Copies of this chain bind each other. A is one copy, B any other.
Amino acid sequence: MNLEQVARRAKVSTATVSRVLNNANVVKTSTRARVEKAIEELKYHPNLHARNLAGGKSRTLGVIASNMENPFFFDIYKTIESDAHARGYEVVVANTDYRSEQLVASIRLMIGRRVAGLAAIVSEMEPALIKELTESRIPVVFYDVGQPRQNITNIRVNYRRGIDKVTDYLHNMGHRRLGFVGHHAMLGPINERMKAVLDAVARNSSLEVKTAADADTLEGGRQATRALLSSGYQPTAIICVNDVMAVGALRELRERGIRVPQDMSVTGFDNVKLSEFCYPALTTLHIPRERIGHIICNCLIPPPGEVAPAEHEIVIDPEFVVRESTGPAPTAARKRHAT
């Protein structure tokens, strides 16, 4: 089913059919009606590949994320999608599962699709890829990774500032032995979060910390917490790399009969909706996912007439949100009681 058949049935040329398809308001009403009738009768659906090929432009944005299962990524994606739709763009997504081979495949796929812009919300990233992207001339926004370049915008979160708020808070509450639950993406921002914790501990000799890592899922958070505690280490507070893993931690603690926050404090990161709905509600750091989505879309779809904005970097400061999962460090007496 193609243009030509429609044209034949409507007794016009393919050019005219193309015109009515694209709302060129130069077609006589009667002709247009005839064409539309033919389209309807033939159940004609234009081939988008042919369109993109002939038209040259794609009006499609690509979004690549490490783990769409984590609401953090999904929230950003959702904002991008609705902004894009509002401007008449489609968006295609790809998951990397934190695997850089998948990242490579996804990026090639996006380039192959000739997307009009690409957002990479990923922790893993090889320099070679960045180069490849730079040379592809597609407008790109990286979240958390890479360097600003010609056609590359960078959004980063000031993890150090965020983590410092957490460690200061915990320290003031009397916590000295900390645990850190991370996930298996050992590059980029995750490491930054972990390093920030490590540094805070290094700055303060009264503090100590042990870390554990597992998959970026509820189950992963639980397993990492289990590993952390099974080692015999007895922290009074666990800092989790994100909210999802923190909810996993909460479960492990519950099953061990460790009360939160009386016996153990737990913190998350991101402030996804779930962090308010779990029990106890998580103390966490808010990252404005909608704002990030809007920024990305603005970079990728420059308002008509304007040129793509010059290379630049946008830094975001996480906001500390105290809820129910944290409290004063248990005293020896209370701790004994709990056991």
| CB within 8 Å of B: which A59-80 residues | 68-69, 71, 74, 78
Nearest-neighbor residue (CB-CB) of A248 within chain B:
B277
Residues of the B chain whose Cβ atoms lie less than 8 Å from the Cβ of A203: none
- Chain B residues near A218: list those with CB within 8 A: 273-274, 276-277
Interface contact B81-A74, CB-CB below 8 Å: no
Q: Does A109 contact B (CB under 8 A)?
A: yes
Min Cβ gap A61→B in Å is 13
In the complex the two chains form, is B69's CB within 8 Å of A71's CB? yes
Q: How many residues of A contact B (CB 8 A)?
A: 44
**Which residues of chain A (10-61) have a CB below 8 Å from chain B?**
43, 45-53
1/0 per residue A221-257: CB within 8 Å of B? 0100000000000000000000000011011001000
- A116 CB, nearest partner CB in chain B, Å: 13
- Please state if B114 and A49 are interface contacts (CB–CB under 8 Å): yes
Q: Which listed residue, B52, B108, B217, B222, touches A45 by the CB 8 Å rule?
A: B108
Q: Are B81 and A95 in contact (CB under 8 A)?
A: yes
B274 near A136: Cβ-Cβ < 8 Å: no
Residues of B within 8 A of A51 (CB): 112
Copies in the assembly, this chain = 2
CB distance from A46 to the nearest CB of B (A): 6
Confirm or deny: A208 has a beta carbon within 8 angstroms of a beta carbon on chain B: no
Determine whether A306 belongs to the interface, using a CB cutoff of 8 Å to chain B: no
Closest Cβ of chain B to A2, distance in Å, is 11
Which residues 135-177 of A sit at the B interface, judged by CB distance below 8 A? 135-136
Closest to A43 in B: B135
Alpha-carbon distance A273/B220, docked complex (angstroms): 12
A132 to B40, CA, bound (A): 11
Q: Which residue of B lies closest to A254 (CB)?
A: B279
Q: List 27 A-B contacts (CB under 8 A).
A: A43-B132, A43-B135, A45-B112, A46-B112, A47-B53, A47-B112, A48-B49, A48-B113, A48-B114, A49-B52, A49-B113, A50-B53, A68-B68, A68-B74, A69-B78, A90-B109, A217-B273, A218-B273, A218-B274, A218-B277, A219-B273, A247-B277, A250-B279, A251-B279, A274-B274, A277-B278, A278-B278
